[in-house]
Amino acid sequence: VSRASRDMSGGVVEVVKDDYIGFVGDDIYVDEPTAEDAMIALCDKLNAGNYDILLILAGEEPSAENARKMSDTLTAKYTRSEVIMVNGGQPIYDYILILE
């Protein structure tokens, strides 16, 4: 999940500059107003509940409070999966999701 640097239309998802996009490789799956909403929507699109572990690396931008709230939301939503939140501290990407 990362902030969109420009508007983009014509694809499957309309992207608004400064929104947050959830993507895998070159494919954009979601555009949301917050990084946390984008991560939750991306998890939905990727059927994250079918995986045993959702490992999320929080970047340097998200606040600890926002990351914790998002983690709590995902834990409640995907009860069969273990949600692990780690402070990765990476620049550019607000969140990185690894599904196992």
Q: What is the pLDDT of residues 14-34, one digit of tens each?
A: 999 999 999 999 999 999 999
| CB neighbour burial string for 70-81, b if at least 16 within 10 angstroms, e if fewer | bbebbeeebeeb
Domain residue ranges in the chain: 2-99
Is residue 36 classed as helix, strand or coil in its secondary structure?
helix
Mean pLDDT, rounded, for 52-73: 97
pLDDT of residue 32: 98
Say which amino acid occupies 64: A
pLDDT of residue 97: 98
Q: Is the pTM of this model over 0.85?
A: yes
